[in-house]
A and B are shown apart, each in its own frame.
Chain A
C-alpha cells in the first residue's frame, strides 16, 4: 500500500488574531491581551485524499523538531505495514538542511520526498484545508493567557478533524 501525504507547519500566537465579528451598531468590542507575544509551532501532515491529520506541536521550528515529527509518521507506517509513503513538503530551511537531508536519505526504504516548487503554497492543500481554518477558528478574537491553554485548544481542534486510522 502506498500513501500520499502533504506536510506543512504554522505558527500560532498567544496574541489574538483580529477578525470581524458581530456587535451592536455604534459599539466596538475590545479584545484584551496581556502583551505576551509567545508562539507555538504545529507540524501538520495531511493524508490525501482522506484529509485526516497527524500533528506535532513544538515551541521551536528546527530540523530536530521536523525529524521528530517524521519519526511519528514512521511509527504509523511501520505499524500498518505501508510499503511506501510519499511526502510532499515545501522548501523551508529546516526541510533542506544538512541534518534533515541526512535523516531523509536513511529513510529511503519507506519514504519518498517530493519538494514543491519554491513560493507555491497554492499547491499544498494543508495551507487551505487546515492552517487557514485553524487560525480562523482557534486564534481569532480570543486571548489565551498561557501557551498551555493554546496547546490544549489546538490539540482538541486538530483531533476533531480526524486522526490517521489503523489500516
Chain B
C-alpha cells in the first residue's frame, strides 16, 4: 500500500474535565469488501478486504480492543466511551486481513 488510508478520531464533547466520560469516535476510510461483491467494471469478484482488529489506547495502555468482521459497513465508524484521567494521547491502531496497518492519535487536553 503506497498511500496511507485516512482515518479520524473525534472526542465529544469538545470541552471536558478530568473524570468526565467522553465519547471517542473513530472513522477509517476503508472499503471493507466482503469477498462476495463483484467489481462493477471488470465483473470479477473482489477479494475480501476488511479491518479485523482495532486497539484503542491511552498513552500506550490499551483500554479497548475490537475484533471486526466483514459485516461492518464501508468506511467504518466505531464509538466507545472513555473516562478521562488526565493529559495524554489517545491512539487507535488497526490491522486488516491483508496485513495493512494504520494508526492515528489525538491529544487529550482536559480543562479544569
Q: Do A and B bind each other?
A: no
Residues of A within 8 A of B (CB): none
